[in-house]
Amino acid sequence: MSHDLRLRNCVAGDEAALALVGQATFLETFAGILGGADIVQHCANAHAAAVYRAWLDDPASALWLAEAAPGEAPVGYAVIAPAQLPLADIDPGDLELKRIYLLSRFHGGGWGKRLLAAAVAHARSAGAKRLLLGVYEGNTSAIGFYERCGFRALGTRRFKVGGRDYDDRILGLALD
């Protein structure tokens, strides 16, 4: 299904929209998979407007917002920041795709690929050697999407949501 969306770079003042779509997409993606109380706690902490404001204020980070027309409602987003993953060969030149989400009713129109393409283009223009990410190991559709886009498995990590730890795969895309 094709949707009329626009993708734009985020600016100061977008933190409330980013927090809203971050919470909504996390809930939509993991409801019925992760514990409800864990999701609520995670969203309150990890998807607070202050978290997005800090990324917006950091010149080493880049954020994009997908908005639906008419009305420019936020429906997806992506965040790149310096890599902070537990890999033995982490390089200061690596960047991490911290978040990339799109509300499910907007899947299938190529917008996930557009968000990822914006992130990859930014990482390349910033001179990054790799674009890294962590993804919940039970999210097979996301893992398949990343692998189809050229990402390869590099390791694992434990990721805390609420009061529980979950297993993530660490994937990477070589940019040279």
Domain count, the chain: 1
pLDDT at 16: 98
pTM: 0.93
Q: Once rounded to an integer, what is the mean pLDDT over residues 24-38? A: 93
Mean pLDDT (the chain, rounded) = 94
CA distance linking residue 141 with residue 94, whole number of Å: 25
At residue 4, the pLDDT reads 87
pLDDT for position 69: 86
Residue 126 belongs to what domain range? 5-174
Render pLDDT for 33-60 as a digit per residue (tens, 0 to 9): 889 999 999 999 999 999 999 999 999 9
pLDDT tens profile 134-159: 999 999 999 999 999 999 999 999 99
The DSSP result for the chain, as a single string, is ----EEEEE--TT-HHHHHHHHHHHHHHHHBTTB-HHHHHHHHHHHT-HHHHHHHHH-TT-EEEEEEETTTTEEEEEEEEEE-----TT--TT-EEEEEEEE-GGGTTSSHHHHHHHHHHHHHHHTT-SEEEEEEETT-HHHHHHHHHTT-EEEEEEEEEETTEEEEEEEEEEE--
* Whether pLDDT at 68 is above 70: yes
Q: Pull the structure tokens for residue 62.
A: 């880049």
Euclidean distance between CA atoms 21 and 135, whole angstroms: 18
Cα angle: 18, vertex 20, 26; to 5 degrees: 95
Report the CATH number that the domain containing residue 59 is assigned in CATH: 3.40.630.30
